[in-house]
Chains A and B, each alone.
Chain A
């Protein structure tokens, strides 16, 4: 479970990147976080993961405050950043082993999880190579594997489907659904509106730092014309005033 309580963040003390964000993401939900470029999605995720500090308000992950109880909060989530170009000089397996050490995953368990994740993402033959030799999609896959290695309760994924091939995208979406079905939380940002329509239990749309709409797909559509596509709703909600 994730709780944002009146969270505000501004840059240079002037422009508010996120303004009074108040939101709860429950266990058992796949939650889609939508918004146009520069709306405040990445800033929100950076505050959520402890990368950026919060000016006002607070964020709790599974009951742990990301500012005051940061170690416990960080241990309870797995995070996939928006750019997978990390640790390019390490081999895939070395990176995963490093993540296993960081999250203290026992050796037998990490071997089992790496094997099953590598099989799901079709990455078995690449784990012995340097990440630098991977395509964008393969890098994304290995980052997802690293984030899920310690089987965290909360998944925080920043545009996780970008660059994935259809099979890997299908696998990841299935894994997200299965994880939520176990009563756990998946919070992800995306620009893929069709994915949101098919996968998400609830959605929030952020624009100019403020949440402009939250709810299930049915609730959102109920506020507008029932027959409109999410794309049309999104464009209408986020159009420049």
Chain B
């Protein structure tokens, strides 16, 4: 078997273990997770199907039905590009397995190929949730034949290739030049900031690129121009979309062939560059700088601070989060990136949105205020649960989790301290949504109610994330990226948060009074949080004893 396939199998095996423990227990945990994801994901699938069926006739009447497929392909490509940079830096450069691979007789292109295949396969989970439902529903709505679905399958398989290779090429080039200094700690910090900044810039880059708008309709111009620019920048995207539109015809097959050919050409280019640049950017990167300077009495006194156990635990966790590149990029980075992109996008397009119609939430009728409140909370639910910070507090400890068991601190106290970084970083989402709400002149009272409810939502989702991780921690990782890569737990936590949000919709059905809705939702979340805390108090000992 070739080295590439051997490595791919190894990476997939290491990267896909969801929790440790007995086989039977793991199976039942996985079944429970799938069940929750299905229940929680049903509303999402319902909204996607309803969205496609409602939009399709409207767009078809305008002869613009192709916008649906172009939009979803563009969104997937954009998401892969934005988060691809972070994934590539972490998985190709800062994962500890590269130290083991370097002394082995393996070519750089073989490592890069195996890692690229692994990342693409992981990307399929996101595609299966969003891309497939839209494309399949589109096919059904447009009564398309089997050749359309063959095209969908090939697009599904190859779509992440080009954006990931672009991220990989940019990273390989930059790492070659960044990794020449001796201070590796500083390099790590630079790379971390670079990763976050490029992910953010990647999103905003397309706002500046020239490109013809697909639509002249003002309502759709904002979205369509972004997608048009993206497809003019990533040529394979244009061919992929054309293959879908012309599926079944000779032209369609030709477009599909071009899409496949470009994707393969990009992969070959990545391997070619990898042979020349990958190892040069990698060598010595895992080393840590040391000053070996004896601290004087003053320095010793200032570092040795006596803190409460919870505060000390929190400080320790924060230091590890901020100093471990994969944790910084995937945990902290994502929690900073999502609100930054949300606020950035609104601010950059603010003029366009407000143009002509002076859009304001100030005068929203009473009947819609509760709905507005729930939109505020749902935005925070989505933004706060799409990072892996909340679902990996124990997993991130890895083999260090053993430490938690022999120190004289109760498990409840330790677990409580471990939730605090999640609460802190996810609170940034509240800030982001509040800024957006303020920009659109949401009534002050409603905004305060939203902030209070969102604080409870953040605590709720942080606790559910912790409990999920406590039930199914993956402590045996030998690669920090594996610890924080998105997995089933993040989807399960999102499903749980969405389920809690559906209670909210129930109250909105019963009352239109925003204050009544606020009080009711507040009480529901408070009760849920108390129940989760009680659950932790009662079960912490039992669950912690199952670890290791």
Contact = CB atoms under 8 A, between A and B. Distances in A.
Interface of A: 12, 49-53, 70-72, 74-75, 79, 81, 83, 85-87, 89-90, 93-94, 97-98, 100-104, 106-107, 110-111, 114-115, 124-130, 132-133
A93 B304 contact: yes
B510 interface: no
B320 A51 contact: no
Given A86-B400, A93-B295, A133-B288, 11 more contacts: A49-B406, A74-B406, A81-B402, A86-B403, A87-B316, A90-B320, A98-B312, A98-B316, A101-B307, A125-B293, A129-B292
Contact of A101 (B312, B323, B410): B312
Contacts of A132: 288
Given A87-B400, A93-B300, A126 B306 contact: no
B403 A125 contact: no
B545 interface: yes
Nearest to A72: B408
Interface of B: 22, 185, 288-295, 299-301, 303-309, 311-313, 315-316, 319-320, 323-324, 399-400, 402-403, 405-410, 545, 548
Contact of B303 (A71, A94, A103): A94
B300 A50 contact: no
Contact of B292 (A71, A89, A126): A126
A101 B306 contact: yes
A128 B406 contact: no
B319 A90 contact: yes
Contacts of B299: 128
14 contacts: A49-B406, A71-B408, A86-B400, A89-B323, A93-B300, A98-B312, A101-B307, A101-B309, A107-B304, A114-B300, A115-B300, A124-B294, A125-B294, A130-B288
Contacts of B303: 93-94, 97
B446 to A, nearest CB: 42
Contacts of A85: 399
Nearest to A49: B406
B484 to A, nearest CB: 14
A102 B407 contact: yes
Contacts of B406: 49-51, 74, 79
Contacts of B291: 128-129
Nearest to B315: A98
Contacts of B292: 125-126, 129
B304 A53 contact: no
Contacts of A87: 316, 320, 400
Given A129-B290, A129-B292, A94 B319 contact: yes
B330 to A, nearest CB: 15
Contacts of B304: 93, 97, 100, 107, 110-111, 114
Contacts of A97: 303-305, 312
A87 B313 CA distance: 12
Given A106-B306, A115-B300, A71 B410 contact: yes
Contact of B301 (A79, A98, A111, A125): A111
B324 A89 contact: yes
B316 A90 contact: yes
B326 to A, nearest CB: 11
Contacts of B548: 51-52
Nearest to A147: B406
B408 A75 contact: yes
A114 B304 CA distance: 10
A127 B291 CA distance: 10
A114 B409 CA distance: 22
B208 to A, nearest CB: 38
A74 B408 contact: yes
Contacts of A53: 545
B277 to A, nearest CB: 26
B320 A89 contact: yes
Contacts of A51: 402, 405-406, 548
Q: Which of A86, A100, A101, A133: most chain B Cβ within 10 A?
A: A101
B188 to A, nearest CB: 10
